[in-house]
């Protein structure tokens, strides 16, 4: 099949592209390579994807080239398209040139704390960009789209673990609000146009290629350099950390069935307190962390915890990597990058 993966140069997206290519599909990715973090890291991800197959003679290395697209020259190609979700004409042109069977929409402005500083940007990219993508897909006859939402939509939820049926009217950041809007839009396009839309509430994903702003990689980098790590609050904050291969398994499972409109949690269904996470990183790195205590930050929720009963039943989702071996796997990769 022909897949479009938006945000395919990023952390989760690059792993999804690799899995699809290994499964024999043709993959296009649409990514603006923005400077939320170093674009060179995203170009390296593209090179990693490309390494699954040899270059053809006309291809250009995405780490150095400014070309908007490249191809592996395989019978099932990989193409990178440099583009912005807010550019409707560019999306329309892409959908007009390729007949996509499915779309996996992972591109977004990410991060709770940055969204407090630039709420309009998050609204424009995440909400308007998703509308543009849905419209382009609708007009070109694409029937199935998978959209990344976030555990942040649960807000300060006193009921744990979080279930897809829980009320979600307590968002506490512009990022969370933008993801709530995307879920609503997905339902609209299913209800009005009959599109098959699956929303995935992702819980803190980690593993190789993790974004440098996320806690596990950020802390590992600082501990490795013997620099203080910022700890907001008393260390009791807990997260449902999900290893990248488990998240990708859930995403791929969604490509194999039709659901009409459905929402799934993709988490590990295990909470880890921040203090425990730091201890695991210390053990894997063989270094002690220097703690820089800071006040609790606006927008941060005290806990995330996924109820994955529905995903187990409907997707066959069965996460395999618990936090202890997951951190060791991440640090094995991390050591190769420093």
Closest to 98 (Cα-Cα) out of 119, 127, 74, 77: 77
* C-alpha neighbours within 13 Å on the C-beta side of residue 9: 28
pLDDT of 237: 86
Is residue 3 within 8 Å of residue 25, measured between CB atoms? yes
Is residue 133 within 8 A of residue 103, CB to CB? The reply is yes
> What are the CA-CA distances from residue 131 to residues 127, 178, 324 (Å)?
6, 12, 39
pLDDT in tens, 33-60: 999 999 999 999 999 998 875 443 333 4
Mean pLDDT (the chain) is 90
Burial 294-332 (b: 16+ CB within 10 A, else e): eeeeebebebbbbbbebbeeebebebebebeebbebbbe
Contact 45, 211 (CB under 8 A): no
Q: What is the pLDDT of residues 141-186, one digit of tens each?
A: 999 999 999 999 998 877 889 999 998 878 889 999 999 999 999 9
Percent of the chain past pLDDT 90, that is, above it, reads 80
- When pLDDT is cut at 50, 70 and 90, the band that residue 222 belongs to is very high
Is the distance from CB of 168 to CB of 187 less than 8 angstroms?
no
Task: Go through 119-151 and write b for each residue having 16 or more CB atoms within 10 A of its CB, e for each that does not.
Answer: eebbbebbbebbbbbbbbbbebebbbbbbbbbb
Q: For residue 55, give the DSSP letter.
A: P
* pLDDT interval class at 294 (50, 70, 90): confident
The radius of gyration computed from the CA coordinates of the chain, to the nearest angstrom, equals 19
Going by their DSSP bridges, the two strands 238-239 and 205-206 should be labelled as unpaired
> What residues contact 219, with CB distance under 8 A and at least 6 apart?
229, 277, 278, 281, 289
The band of 299, judged by pLDDT with boundaries at 50, 70 and 90, is low
pLDDT attached to residue 174: 94
pLDDT on residue 215: 92
CB proximity list for 241: less than 8 A, separation 6 or greater: 203, 204, 205, 206, 216, 268, 270, 272, 277, 323, 326
C-alpha pair distances (Å), 309 with each of 42, 162, 166, 265: 34, 11, 14, 9
User: Does position 113 have pLDDT exceeding 90, yes or no?
Assistant: no
In sequence order, what DSSP letters do the residues of 244-286 get, joined into one string?
HHHHHHHHHHHTTS--SEEEEEES-S--EEHHHHHHHHHHHHT
Return the closest-CA partner of residue 201 out of 248, 257, 151: 151
- pLDDT tier for residue 67 given thresholds of 50, 70 and 90: very low
The domains found in the chain, sorted by start residue, are 2-203+243-268+307-317 (3.40.50.720)
Mean pLDDT for the stretch of residues 275-288 = 96
| Segment 251-266, tens digit of pLDDT | 999 999 999 999 999 9
Residues with catalytic roles:
175
Q: Please tell me the pTM assigned to this model.
A: 0.91
Q: Would you say residue 132 has pLDDT above 70?
A: yes
Q: Name the more confident of 301 and 82.
A: 82
Closest by Cα among 182, 201, 197 to 102: 197
On the question of pLDDT at 216 being above 90, the answer is yes
pLDDT at position 76: 53
């Amino acid at each position: 099949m022909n897949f479009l993966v938006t945000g395919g140069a990023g952390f989760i997206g690059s792993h999804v592209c690799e899995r699809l290519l290994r499964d024999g599909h043709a993959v296009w990715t649409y990514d603006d390579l923005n400077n939320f973090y170093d674009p060179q890291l995203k170009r390296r991800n593209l090179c990693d994807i490309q390494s699954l197959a040899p270059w053809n003679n006309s291809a250009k290395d995405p780490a150095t080239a400014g070309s908007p697209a490249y191809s592996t020259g395989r019978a099932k190609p990989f193409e990178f398209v440099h583009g912005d979700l807010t550019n409707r004409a560019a999306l329309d042109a892409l959908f007009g040139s390729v007949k996509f069977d499915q779309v996996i929409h992972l591109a977004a402005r990410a991060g709770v704390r940055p969204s407090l500083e630039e709420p309009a940007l998050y609204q424009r990219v995440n909400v308007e960009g998703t509308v543009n993508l849905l419209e382009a897909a609708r007009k070109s006859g694409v029937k199935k789209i998978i959209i990344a939402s976030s555990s942040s939509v649960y807000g300060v939820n006193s009921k744990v673990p979080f279930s897809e049926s829980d009320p979600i009217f307590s968002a506490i950041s512009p990022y969370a609000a933008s993801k709530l809007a995307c879920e609503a839009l997905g339902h609209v396009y299913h209800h009005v146009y009959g599109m098959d839309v699956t929303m995935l509430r992702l819980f803190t994903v980690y593993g190789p290629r993790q974004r440098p702003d996320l806690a596990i990689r950020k802390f590992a980098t600082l501990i490795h350099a013997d620099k203080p790590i910022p700890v907001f609050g008393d260390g009791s904050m807990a997260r449902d950390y999900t290893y990248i291969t488990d998240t990708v398994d859930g995403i791929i499972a969604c490509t194999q069935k039709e659901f009409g409109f459905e929402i799934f949690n993709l988490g590990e269904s295990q909470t880890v307190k921040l203090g425990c996470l730091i201890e695991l990183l210390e053990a894997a790195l063989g270094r002690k962390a220097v703690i820089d205590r800071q006040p609790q930050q606006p927008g941060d929720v005290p806990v995330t915890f996924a109820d994955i009963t529905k995903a187990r039943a409907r997707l066959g989702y069965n996460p395999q990597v618990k936090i202890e071996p997951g951190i060791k796997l991440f640090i094995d990769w991390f050591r190769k990058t420093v």
